[in-house]
Structure 1
Amino acid sequence: MHDPGIYALIQLMPTVLRPAGWALWAAATVLDDLADQRDAEPAERAARVEAWTQALHCELAAGTSRDPVRHALVDSALRWRLDLSSLRGAMISTRDDTRGRHFADWAAWRAWCNGAITPWVDQVRHLFERAGAPMTLRLDRQQDYQWFIDGARLTDTLTDLSADLAQGDLFLPQEALDAFPGAEDDLRQGSWSQAAAALVRELTALARQWVTRPAMTTGMHPGAATVLNTAASLMRAQLDAVDAAGHALLKRAPRPSLAARTRILAPARIRSKLAWSLTPLTAPGPRRPTVAASEPSPEADDTALRPPPPHRDGVRPPQIAADRMPAHVAVIMDGNGRWAEQRGLPRPEGHRAGTAAAHEMVHGALEIGLRHLTLYAFSTENWKRDTEEITTILEAIRRDLDEGPIRDLDVRQRWLGHPDKLPQELVQALLREERRTSTRTGLTLTVCINYGGRDEITRTAAALAQAAHAGDIDPHLIGQDDFARHLPHPDMPDVDLLWRTGNEQRISNFLPWHTSYAELCFTSDYWPDVDRRDLWQAITEYSRRQRRHGGATR
């Protein structure tokens, strides 16, 4: 976090954004330092991080702070109208790092990276957007963005190897360590063995591959593109220094030479200065009014999560034995248009009415203890519908995300689908809610928007082919687990119960991989007419069925 390269990158930002950039960098650095202080036990270090985080929460409401770093961050948030609630997860991740980490595989490591770094990077992107020079990422390059973040984290981990090992930490996935027998023990003992050297060479090559994503900045504002491309060049120079360090890597953090940094930064400064000189930028307006410190916003802290509201008739969910309860229910919300036509209303009115039913499903899922709920909101085939109906559906989804009626429930929100054709504002809102709720442990709500099952399988097969071409997987040994790992959400469990409303009996290209062994339930009511009791009834019916998965009846 003390890398002078970060300071150099902030210098490439337009002058009006630099104070806010420094405030974000300083806050992340302070938290990292508090977590790494060697004069205290892990519990004390975790308490210090938590105290700093809680103080920031209160000071955001008050609008000021006596701590210089927090004051700068509060001032930047109010001037630029930044929502810092998304940083809560990253701060929790920093706090929990004090207790040590163990990652079974790259997927677990990647989830840690996403939670710890992405929120800070997104705040910088929001700054560029507020200034009128958005760091817009191509919607078809979201995976490149994720690889870039992973590469930055791996570069940082390799650079800080000596400091982490001194505290007994090794922030690498077990999957990577096991590929080089003996390397883990050697590193923990401070021995630069052949296995340890081979591991580091492999990881530096992997990090270099991840941070080299030139297509990520295609079509981006040249000033913003210069910042990202320079960041990639600095990280590659850092990885060169890691490779050249050899056994010294276990004693101190390597740094690129001054000559190497100058070769990268000198032309970057010229390019960025020219780009910003030709760009009319928006200066920060007056500070946003603060709210009373005694009334903190519930979205800023997950400790303020509330239970779902009770049903209007006071009904309670049935008691379902744990071994008879589905883990994952997927719903095809059918009948909105017909519901409206039946009442002499335009079809779009049915979709507006269906939003309330979706909220009811979330409330009912939370009450009965369901772990995963997936809703089919808009399919790739729905683009064939009338333009007004399409607009109404997408606007209703966007408005629901902005108004946040389920924002203070213990719900982890996710999106499954493809960004093609979707309004960019909607995609960004979906990704924002994913990041903001990523640390929640209650219901996982996946909303399928611009989703098609065959499209998902085709893209997954393409990702597998690309992995095989890159040598990451043997094409002759590809199995079902390999395919599942390349799905958009590899951790999504199989669907136990697929429920469709609207008196239709087909699955309509919905989750074909995940529903291979799903129990099917079709009901006649149109979607706007259902509430949580219908979900409970479908789950009750599921609990009575005998599932054999191809086996014989006992």
Structure 2
Amino acid sequence: MTISAELLPQHVAIIMDGNNRFAKKKHLQKGDGHREGKNVLDPIVEHCRKVGVKALTVYAFSSENWNRPQYEVDLLMKLLEETINEQIPRMIKFQIGLRFIGDRSRLTPELQQLMLQAEQRTATFTEMTLTIAVSYGGMWDIAQTAKTIAQLVKEQKIDVDQVDVDLFAQHVSLGDLPPVDLLIRTGGDYRLSNFLLWQSAYAELYFTETLWPEFTTEELDHAFGVFLGRERRFGKTSEQVQQEKIEN
């Protein structure tokens, strides 16, 4: 599918759900679904870069995922480490900036250092930004932003009357990137699961029964097609939107 990059979502977010159900479906051992899911990310990243998406943010491990069985948490942390090591040379090859969002305090010092090194080595790349959300929650993100702004007010660096939506947006995670245009969730559930709540305020939502290890670039293109068929009004009427298209 060939679509003008100007029409595509500039920021795509994906809740990569369904790994465990995939393992059960295929009668695999525990953890194998996560291993299969890890391999799906590469072609999705490459396809997004190829068609002109500027930012891709994926939900790898939520704040709530710490409540999963310890063996699964340990496996996910190991796979995250493998993913980072594998992605660094790929990011360099494709000139993609790699970054991470979330509460790093619960991660091991070694993993925190690896994440920091990956961010530093790819910081100057501008073809696309790949963000991996780790130990992340949208409510945590908003609370942290409120805390940051409260501290700025306390230090008299800003006045309380300056606090508005625009200021908040500057301090929330990924505040330097476009807001999420398209949020995709695989696995058949119809909820946001505390992911990018602020950043996705006006995102178009695409839910699919497809389990993440079975998600393909073809279905990603289908999601893009669905996105292009949506009328994004941002509070305006259809008539206003159509008039603006004519004028532009």
TM-score by length of 1: 0.42
Mapped partners of 2:36, 2:227: distance in 1: 27
Residue 330 of structure 1 corresponds to which residue in structure 2? 13
* Pairs within 5 Å for 1:110-129: none
Residue 188 of structure 2 corresponds to which residue in structure 1? 503
Q: Give yes or no for contact 2:180–2:203 (8 Å, CA) kept in 1.
A: yes
Bigger helix share = 1
Q: Give yes or no for contact 1:336–1:347 (8 Å, CA) kept in 2.
A: no
Residue 320 of structure 1 corresponds to which residue in structure 2? 3
Indicate how the Cα distance of structure 1 residues 346 and 384 shifts in structure 2: closer, same or farther if over 3 A, else same: farther
Higher RCO, 1 vs 2 (CA within 8 Å, ≥6 residues apart) = 2
Counterpart amino acid of 1:468?
V
Q: Are positions 1:350 and 2:56 aligned together?
A: no
Mapped partners of 1:337, 1:442: distance in 2: 33
* Pairs within 5 Å for 1:188-227: none
Q: Give yes or no for contact 2:48–2:56 (8 Å, CA) kept in 1.
A: yes
Mapped partners of 1:474, 1:366: distance in 2: 40
Match of 1:533 among 178, 196, 218: 218
Q: Are positions 1:467 and 2:141 aligned together?
A: no
Residue 246 of structure 2 corresponds to which residue in structure 1? none
Mapped partners of 2:22, 2:101: distance in 1: 26
- How many Å apart are 1:483 and its aligned residue? 0.9
Mapped partners of 1:345, 1:465: distance in 2: 49
- In terms of mean alpha carbon deviation, does 318-327 or 386-395 score higher? 318-327
Mapped partners of 1:477, 1:491: distance in 2: 19
Residue 400 of structure 1 corresponds to which residue in structure 2? 83
* Deviations 1:182-218 (CA, angstroms, capped at 9, x unpaired): xxxxxxxxxxxxxxxxxxxxxxxxxxxxxxxxxxxxx
Match of 2:128 among 421, 443, 447: 443
- How many Å apart are 1:533 and its aligned residue? 1.6
Counterpart amino acid of 1:365?
C
Mapped partners of 2:171, 2:19: distance in 1: 33
Counterpart amino acid of 2:147?
A
Mapped partners of 1:437, 1:396: distance in 2: 20
- How many Å apart are 1:321 and its aligned residue? 3.0
Gaps of 5+ in 2: 240-248
Bigger strand share = 2
Indicate how the Cα distance of structure 1 residues 322 and 363 shifts in structure 2: closer, same or farther if over 3 A, else same: closer
Mapped partners of 1:472, 1:490: distance in 2: 19
Q: Give yes or no for contact 1:320–1:543 (8 Å, CA) kept in 2.
A: no
- How many Å apart are 1:528 and its aligned residue? 0.4
Mapped partners of 1:497, 1:402: distance in 2: 28
Q: Give yes or no for contact 2:5–2:52 (8 Å, CA) kept in 1.
A: no
* Deviations 1:69-98 (CA, angstroms, capped at 9, x unpaired): xxxxxxxxxxxxxxxxxxxxxxxxxxxxxx
| Structure with the greater alpha carbon radius of gyration | 1
Mapped partners of 2:231, 2:31: distance in 1: 40
- In terms of mean alpha carbon deviation, does 336-345 or 373-382 score higher? 336-345
- How many Å apart are 1:473 and its aligned residue? 0.8
Q: Give yes or no for contact 2:5–2:51 (8 Å, CA) kept in 1.
A: no
User: How many aligned residue pairs are there?
Assistant: 237
Mapped partners of 2:41, 2:5: distance in 1: 25
- How many Å apart are 1:477 and its aligned residue? 2.8
Mapped partners of 1:403, 1:527: distance in 2: 19
Residue 70 of structure 2 corresponds to which residue in structure 1? 387
Mapped partners of 1:363, 1:321: distance in 2: 17
Counterpart amino acid of 2:24?
E
Residue 512 of structure 1 corresponds to which residue in structure 2? 197
* Pairs within 5 Å for 1:148-167: none
* Pairs within 5 Å for 1:57-68: none
Mapped partners of 1:365, 1:333: distance in 2: 15
- How many Å apart are 1:323 and its aligned residue? 4.0
Residue 266 of structure 1 corresponds to which residue in structure 2? none
Gaps of 5+ in 1: 1-317
Give the 3-state SS of the residue equivalent to 2:105 in structure 1.
coil
Q: Give yes or no for contact 1:364–1:536 (8 Å, CA) kept in 2.
A: no
Residue 176 of structure 2 corresponds to which residue in structure 1? 491
Q: Are positions 1:426 and 2:125 aligned together?
A: no
Q: Are positions 1:522 and 2:207 aligned together?
A: yes
Q: Are positions 1:543 and 2:228 aligned together?
A: yes
Counterpart amino acid of 1:438?
A
Match of 1:368 among 30, 34, 51: 51
Q: Give yes or no for contact 1:331–1:500 (8 Å, CA) kept in 2.
A: yes
TM-score by length of 2: 0.92
Task: Give aligned-pair identity as a percent.
Answer: 38
- In terms of mean alpha carbon deviation, does 396-405 or 433-442 score higher? 396-405
* Deviations 1:331-386 (CA, angstroms, capped at 9, x unpaired): 00000011001122233111111011111210111121111100000000001111
Q: Give yes or no for contact 1:498–1:520 (8 Å, CA) kept in 2.
A: yes
- How many Å apart are 1:416 and its aligned residue? 0.7
Counterpart amino acid of 2:174?
H
Q: Give yes or no for contact 1:411–1:442 (8 Å, CA) kept in 2.
A: yes
Q: Give yes or no for contact 1:502–1:527 (8 Å, CA) kept in 2.
A: yes
Mapped partners of 1:535, 1:426: distance in 2: 30
Q: Give yes or no for contact 2:21–2:33 (8 Å, CA) kept in 1.
A: yes
* Deviations 1:28-84 (CA, angstroms, capped at 9, x unpaired): xxxxxxxxxxxxxxxxxxxxxxxxxxxxxxxxxxxxxxxxxxxxxxxxxxxxxxxxx
Mapped partners of 1:410, 1:496: distance in 2: 22
Mapped partners of 1:346, 1:370: distance in 2: 35
Q: Are positions 1:552 and 2:237 aligned together?
A: yes
Q: Give yes or no for contact 1:417–1:450 (8 Å, CA) kept in 2.
A: yes
